[in-house]
Each structure stands twice: as structure tokens, then as C-alpha cells.
């Protein structure tokens, strides 16, 4: 049996020697990469602990929980869990860390009333991780999905801080990569108190990598428990819903990547010949692509507008294509759609979450690459609640069919919403693992 990964053990020494070599030899590569990226210049000093180090935890009896969600998807998945923890343990101090700027922005919008502190996760350096842990002194660390940082986990183990992985998943690609280094990762995984996996397949993969079988359980997928934002209608939703009531059929292409917008535009232009009431909303996954996508739409010869150009009170859009150049409003766009396309799936990016359009009962199309959401995609496909196409030609055919007969897709959206309701319960199971770690029992 592999021993737990602790500071000073052979694996720990070798790992940090490798980190030192990479950091030193890689300066010519990572320094220019840092300088040209605005997003990384924002979070880099905080991840190094130069600024933005979290406030020290007061010495009181209130339990403290550090939750880590790397980016947007993990942050959104954490929302129901954190709200449940706040409900059950209202006096808890909850800290949330992210790695990406967009993840941090999402946390500020979705969890400002739940989380006490927000900060960027430190780089996986032993002294740095220890510094953050000694400031926060958490009673438990909760990692959303799968972020295996050996030094961080070793520093938690040295301080006796229990670590819980919630919503844990391992894609086939990640599993194969970790499996090649199983002798190293087995001791690392044995420092984790509980792994609450999304599915039985994910649980078996964690065990195959060396996690203790008794520490691994199936808690379900938190993303099935996420609910659409509620609140006052936004400027965007007012415009989109007004256009919808006037007869516009919106195709919303969300979380798109390079190569997908051009394919979506070509398909849209073909379908619009059959149905002039169609309009297209493009929502690139990454903010740095807003400008290139805007230019691409103009080159396609269509009238294109930006979301940031919409004024409060606008109820009509004098353009065929709308670029969503903001973060956090995609759900509002899906709510007004007649047909949704979820990106990262026509190109090999592993896909993105189809649950946002499903919340609103919107028929949804994806491409062949859904590896990151294989369980969700499989469930929706089996229920006839999702349309999957093999390539751009297949997508174009679906869009043309929608243009000719939009009502024929309504059953897909309805079945998606019904299926989503049937999968509730992951929040309570994952919360139970966290509550047990902080000594509040496993009952919610």
C-alpha cells in the first residue's frame, strides 16, 4: 500500500526538484506568456502571494471552509453546494479561491451573498501553499471536480486539514495521463479524506489511480442541481424577449471556440434564406476572442451589434447577429432562444455544459466532442433531450430543419427540462461529505 504524500517523502522531494527545474529552465517561455496576457497579469501577483493574500482567520469557534473552484464551470457547479452549506451551517466562514479571472468574476456575481472571502489560488509551491493555509486555518478544504496539486495536498496533510473532492470526475484522457504516473499519484490521492465522484465510472477511476476504496463514494453531479439565476430582468433579457414576442427566432451559440463561430455563421446564413425571422447570438467562451469574432461576423456580410452597445430600454435590434461581449449573461440569452448550440463540441475541446439551456426548456444541439460532460450528454441523448451532430454539415442540416419547422424541436427542450428535474439530489450528498469533514455530521 502506498504511503500518504507528505513533505519530506521521496515523491515530495522529486516533485519539487522537477518544479524547480521547470520554473528555472522555462523562464524564457513563461515570462513572455505572462507579459502578453492581461488576465494572467491580473491574477499572477495574487497567486504568488505578493498581494491579495486572504485575511487571517479570527481565532473563534466558527468553522472555516476553503472551497477551490478553478474556473467558470466549477464555480457555477459550486453554487448549490455553497448555498446548502450556508443554510446548514450559517455561522461558517466560507472562502472561495479561483485560478482564472473569469472564474473570479463569476464568483463575484453568483456568490457575493454566500462567500466571506474570494481570492486566487496559490501556485503549487510548498512555502506559498503553507502561507495561505496558515492565514485561513481552514477546518476543511473542498476541491470542486479534480484539481490535484501535490504540494497543496501535502501541506494540508501536514497540518491535519481534511480535504474533500466534490463533484469529482476524471475524463478518459485525464485518467490515462494520471495512470502513467500512478506510483506518484497514489500517495497523493491517499491524503484526501473523501472523494465524492460524479459517477460510478469516475469513482472506479479514482480507485484505480490509488485512492482508498473506502474514501471514494458516488455523490452525483452538482451541475444537475444548479438553478438559473433569478432576479430583475436585465437589459439584455428585455431586448431578447421583446424580439422573441415580435416573432424573432433566436439561435444562441454559447461558449464557442475558435473555428466554431465561422461554422455557425455559415449554417445560420443558409437557414436564414428559408426563414428570415432567424437571428443569431454568438457568445465566445473567452473574452479575449470578442473582437476577433466581431470582425468575423462583419466579414460574413451581416449586420452585427455588440451586447455592450444595447441601451437600457431598447426593445428591438437593428442587426441579424448579436455578439455577447459580456460575462455572466449567457443564461439570459438561452432563456430567449428557440434553438441553442453549446460550443467546445464541434472542435475538440471536450464540450461545455448543456444544463443552462435545459433549465429553460430550450432544444439544444452539440457536436461530437462532449468528453468533459460525457455522463450528462449520455443521459440527455438517451432521453431524446439533446441533438448531437457529427460535424458542421450535420449542424447546418439541423439549423435548416429548425428554420423550416421550429415547433418540431419543442419536444427536445421539454424532455431536457423534465430530465434535469429528475436528477436532483447531488447537492445534499456532496454537502454531507463536507459537513462530516468539519465535524458537523453527514446529515443535512
Query: Which one of 74, 329, 375, 428 is the catalytic residue?
Result: 74
How many whole angstroms from its chain centre is CA 305?
27
Backbone dihedral region for residue 255 (phi beyond 0: left; psi -120 to 50: alpha; all else: beta): left
> Residue 161 has what DSSP assignment?
-
Partners of residue 66 on adjacent β-strands? 95, 141
Beta-bridge partners for 283: 254
Compute how many other C-beta atoms are within 10 angstroms of the C-beta atom of residue 309. Answer: 12
Q: In what order do the strands lie in the sheet with 321-323?
A: 304-306, 321-323, 278-284, 249-256, 339-342, 364-366, 387-388
Question: Under DSSP, is residue 341 helix (H, G, I), strand (E, B) or coil?
Answer: strand
How many helical (H) and strand (E) elements, i.e. helices and strands, does the chain have?
Answer: 19, 14
Strands 339-342 and 64-68: unpaired
422/250 Cα distance (integer angstroms)? 28
Is residue 371 annotated as part of the catalytic site, yes or no? Answer: no
Mind giving me the DSSP string for 214-283?
GGEEE---GGGG-----SSPPHHHHHHHHHHHTT-EEEEEEEE-TTHHHHHHHHHHHHHHH-TTEEEEEE
- Residue 243's closest CA among 315, 178, 144, 165? 315
Contacts of 255 (CB under 8 A, 6+ apart): 283, 284, 285, 330, 342, 343, 344, 352, 353
Tell me the catalytic residues: 74
Amino acid at each position: 500500500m502506498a504511503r500518504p504524500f507528505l513533505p519530506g517523502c521521496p515523491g515530495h522531494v522529486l516533485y519539487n526538484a522537477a518544479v524547480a527545474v521547470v520554473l528555472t529552465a522555462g523562464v524564457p517561455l513563461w515570462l513572455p506568456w505572462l507579459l502578453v496576457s492581461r488576465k494572467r497579469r491580473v491574477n499572477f501577483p495574487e497567486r504568488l502571494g505578493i498581494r491579495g493574500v486572504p485575511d487571517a482567520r479570527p481565532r473563534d469557534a466558527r468553522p472555516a471552509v476553503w472551497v477551490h473552484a478553478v474556473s467558470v464551470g466549477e464555480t457555477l457547479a459550486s453554487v448549490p453546494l455553497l448555498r446548502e452549506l450556508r443554510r446548514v451551517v450559517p455561522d461558517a466562514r466560507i472562502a472561495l479561491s479561483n485560478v482564472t479571472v473569469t472564474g473570479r468574476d463569476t464568483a463575484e456575481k453568483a456568490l457575493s451573498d454566500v462567500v466571506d472571502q474570494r481570492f486566487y489560488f496559490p501556485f503549487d509551491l510548498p512555502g506559498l501553499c503553507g502561507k495561505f493555509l496558515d492565514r485561513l486555518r481552514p477546518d476543511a478544504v473542498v476541491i470542486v471536480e479534480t484539481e490535484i496539486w501535490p504540494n497543496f495536498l501535502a501541506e494540508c496533510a501536514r497540518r491535519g486539514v481534511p480535504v474533500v473532492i466534490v463533484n469529482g470526475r476524471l475524463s478518459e484522457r485525464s485518467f490515462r495521463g494520471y495512470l502513467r504516473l500512478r506510483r506518484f499519484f497514489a500517495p497523493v490521492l491517499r491524503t484526501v479524506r473523501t472523494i465524492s465522484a460524479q459517477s460510478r465510472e469516475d469513482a472506479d477511476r479514482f480507485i484505480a489511480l490509488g485512492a482508498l476504496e473506502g474514501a471514494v463514494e458516488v455523490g452525483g453531479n452538482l451541475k444537475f442541481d444548479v438553478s438559473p439565476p433569478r432576479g430583475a430582468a436585465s437589459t439584455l433579457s428585455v431586448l431578447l424577449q421583446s424580439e422573441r414576442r415580435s416573432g424573432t427566432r433566436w439561435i444562441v451559440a454559447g461558449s464557442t471556440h475558435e473555428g466554431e463561430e465561422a461554422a455557425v455563421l455559415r449554417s445560420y446564413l443558409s437557414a436564414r434564406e428559408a426563414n428570415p425571422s432567424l437571428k443569431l447570438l454568438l457568445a465566445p467562451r473567452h473574452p479575449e476572442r470578442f473582437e476577433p469574432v466581431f470582425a468575423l461576423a462583419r466579414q460574413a456580410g451581416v449586420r452585427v451589434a455588440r451586447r455592450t452597445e444595447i441601451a437600457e430600454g431598447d426593445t428591438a435590434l437593428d442587426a441579424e447577429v448579436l455578439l455577447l461581449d459580456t460575462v455572466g449573461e449567457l443564461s439570459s440569452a438561452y432563456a430567449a432562444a428557440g434553438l441553442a448550440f453549446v460550443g467546445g463540441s464541434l472542435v475538440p475541446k471536450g464540450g461545455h455544459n448543456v444544463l443552462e439551456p435545459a433549465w429553460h426548456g430550450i432544444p439544444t444541439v452539440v457536436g461530437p466532442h462532449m468528453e468533459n460532460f460525457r455522463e450528462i450528454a449520455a443521459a440527455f441523448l438517451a432521453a431524446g433531450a439533446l441533438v448531437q451532430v457529427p460535424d458542421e454539415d450535420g449542424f447546418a442540416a439541423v439549423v435548416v430543419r429548425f428554420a423550416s419547422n421550429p415547433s418540431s424541436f419543442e419536444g427536445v427542450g421539454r424532455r431536457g427540462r423534465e430530465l434535469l428535474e429528475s436528477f436532483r439530489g447531488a447537492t445534499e450528498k456532496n454537502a454531507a461529505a463536507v459537513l462530516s469533514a468539519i465535524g458537523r455530521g453527514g446529515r443535512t
